[in-house]
Amino acid sequence: MAFSSKLECAFCGSNLSRRNWHSGTPHEKVIWQCVTATKKGKKYCSHSKALEEKLIEGAFVESYKLVCRNNSDVLDELMKRMESVFSDQNNQKRLNKIISDIQATEQKRCKLIDLCLDEKIDRATYEQKYAELDTSLTKFLEEREQLEQSAQEEIDLGKRLEHFRKVLHTNEVLTAFDRNVFESIVDKVIIGENPNQESPEPYKLTFVYKTGFHNSIQSKMHKQKKPLRSERGKVPSYSENNTRRIGGFVGEEWYRGLRMQ
């Protein structure tokens, strides 16, 4: 299931779960619902609505078209941000320095032990100096761990960006939902918007891509009513006029937010 663990309710933060409606009948359909609303009750997430899987698939196709339409602009902006952030971080250089500091501190500690064994310093001086070196070493080791993680995140982010570029170039035209493309480049989909306002939008879908870029798709379906007999079997469709894009980048805050994903 392409959407498992990728759909997030904007109103309560829970995931959405997959269910079958009218199973075994001609009107059977697959829908996704907020886990909080289904398990605890509608009152615990009153704004969330059941969403047909076909609706989500169609929304992704539209979102992807917007990305491809602005392909060069999106990638150029991402590259500029990446280069700017990477040049500011310089984690690898800082990591190399910390490794040198750790080695120097360990050598000092070994020399201190030798001085103590040779009785060239008294016990009180030895314990004081050893404690100081041990504190410095602990600090350096913690910083090394953080820098190693940051350096690896930079490498992973670069790989994700390059993968995103390849997928866009390979699948420039997407006329129907493609699970492989979706799973390759989408981090999550936020279902709904405006949880603290009087007019929530439960059918607005925000696609958050693995590179940090995001855009939003909204159908004209402000209410999902049960279809009349004469209307059953019809599938909601999208057009360019039914959608709008909301996307952006915010420098280092964008980058830090991406790391937390």
Same domain, 180 and 83: yes
Among residues 101, 118, 153, the one where a domain terminates is 153
pTM: 0.54
* pLDDT at res. 87: 56
Among residues 106, 122, 153, the one where a domain terminates is 153
Among residues 121, 153, 185, the one where a domain terminates is 153
Residue 187's Cβ-count burial label (10 Å; 0-12, 13-18, 19+) is middle
Q: Is residue 169 part of a domain?
A: no
Same domain, 205 and 254: yes
pLDDT per residue of the chain (261 residues) written in tens, 0 to 9: 678 889 999 999 999 999 998 888 888 899 999 999 999 999 999 899 999 999 999 999 998 888 877 666 666 665 665 555 555 556 777 888 999 999 999 999 999 999 999 889 999 999 999 999 999 999 999 999 888 887 777 777 667 667 767 776 776 667 888 887 888 788 899 999 876 667 888 999 999 988 778 889 986 454 444 544 544 444 444 433 333 333 433 333 433 443 444
Same domain, 18 and 67: yes
Q: Is residue 79 part of a domain?
A: yes
Same domain, 180 and 82: yes
Same domain, 76 and 194: yes
Q: Is residue 218 part of a domain?
A: yes
Same domain, 72 and 112: no
Q: How far apart (Å, rounded) are the C-alpha atoms in residues 197 and 41?
A: 21
Same domain, 11 and 80: yes
- Residue 187 sits in which domain range? 7-87+176-259
* pLDDT at res. 237: 41
Looking at the structure of the chain, the number of domains it has is 2
**Burial annotation 53-91 (CB, 10 A radius, 16+ → b, else e):** bebbbbbbbbbbbbbeebeeebbeebeebbeebeeebeb
Same domain, 138 and 197: no
Same domain, 112 and 75: no
Same domain, 67 and 181: yes
**Burial annotation 113-127 (CB, 10 A radius, 16+ → b, else e):** eeebeeeeeeeeebe
* pLDDT at res. 171: 64
Q: How far apart (Å, rounded) are the C-alpha atoms in residues 79 and 167?
A: 16
Same domain, 255 and 187: yes
Q: Is residue 22 part of a domain?
A: yes
Same domain, 78 and 203: yes
